[in-house]
Amino acid sequence: MKFRLSLLSAMLAASIGTCGSVLAQGAQSYPERPIRIIVPFAPGGSSDVLARSIGQKLTEMWGQQVIVDNRPGASGNIGAGEAARSEPDGYTLLLVDVGTITISPSIFPQLGYDPAGFAPITMVAVSPHALVVNPSVPVSSVQELIAYGKANPGKLNYASAGIGTAVHLAGEQFQEMTGTTWTHVPYKGGAAALVGIVGGEVDLTLNGLLATLPHIKSGKLRALAVAGTKRASAMPDLPTVSEAGVPGFQSGSWQGLLAPGGTPKEIVTKLHDGVVKVLNDPDMTKRLADQGAEVVGDTPEEFAAFIREDTTKWARLVKDKAIKVE
């Protein structure tokens, strides 16, 4: 009996050793074919811009095509669900923003996937929201916007990337803090919301500076303030919302890279190291800074902890505001 147990133990140890060796070899040779990054929003938004910038650099680094696959709908949940159901082999990734993973669990009763089931890789970047209006709106400052909103309750329409997104909640918070009333118009993604405001369908929005800055520079949108804790280096003359008369108001977005749950740790580590190397490239850092974003590149463990904390924070706000999908 002792001999059989010893033999079984030896076989089990050998099996575990072989499995570990295979995983290690797989991580060393990864990637061996194209990688798909699912962006759960339409092209042109902050997440899409970041995914394409990172994908291009990873393609150059690894010699394998990195394809951006836009799967918009349901505030990002359609694309996130597809990513969650993909093979956990490192060849399908998900680039998300704050709304999809940390706000959606409190908004949508049925997601069709487990937001906590992903394998975090790294937070990619953070970008403050810019408070912008269509040039036809007769205001040129935050105080003028507040005064106009109070004099015309419900007349101003504000665009968001969808119900329950960070932009939606930021707009609700701004109204509460200033005593104004706007009409919420949800779009299918941040890019569509920007098209709406540029085209005059809606009056204003709070949107990530990364995607909004080109429209500000072209004169298609008028920037009133940036909603970060400090002025954006890309627009140093633009005041923060706090400086402009709404003390304590802050909103913004972050983007992060996730893999399906069960992706081997060795693959996650290689992805993390590759993406962080891309983010720390001086050209990439400067490019994103010029567009209003700040690179992060934290560890998978740090990103996981942040997601948990952010989910709790938004759950409290959603409950207080009684926000629901209609």
Residue 25 — pLDDT band, cuts 50, 70, 90? low
User: Within a 10 A sphere around the Cβ of 325, how many other Cβ atoms?
Assistant: 14
Q: Is the dihedral of CA 237, 238, 244, 250 positive or negative?
A: negative
| Burial track 140-178 (b if 16+ CB lie within 10 A, e otherwise) | eebeebbebbeeeeeebbbbbbbbbbbbbbbbbbbbeeb
Range 176-199 average pLDDT: 92
Distance CA 117, CA 81 (A): 11
Confidence at residue 3, expressed as pLDDT on a 0 to 100 scale: 47
The DSSP letter of residue 239 is P
CB contact at 8 A, 291 and 215: no
Q: Are 255 and 99 in contact (CB under 8 A)?
A: no
What residues contact residue 311 under an 8 Å CB cut-off, 6+ apart? 101, 102, 105, 106, 115
Q: Is the pLDDT of residue 323 over 90?
A: no
Q: Supply φ then ψ for residue 249, to 5 degrees.
A: -75, 130
Domains of the chain: 30-127+253-321 (3.40.190.150), 128-251 (3.40.190.10)
pLDDT of residue 22: 44
**pLDDT for the residue 179:** 95
Q: Which residues contact 179 (CB under 8 A, 6 or more apart)?
A: 146, 150
* Contact predicate 213/120, CB 8 Å: no
- pTM of the full structure: 0.79
Helix H or strand E encompassing 83: helix 77-84
The pLDDT value recorded for residue 10 is 55
30-76 per-position pLDDT tens digit:
999 999 999 998 888 888 989 999 999 999 999 999 999 999 888 88
Beta bridge partners of 66: 35
Low-confidence winner among 20-24, 75-79, 195-199 (lowest mean pLDDT): 20-24
Q: Is it true that the peptide bond before 88 is cis, omega within 30 degrees of 0?
A: no
Q: Who has greater pLDDT, 143 or 323?
A: 143
Burial class (CB in 10 A: 0-12, 13-18, 19+), 68: buried
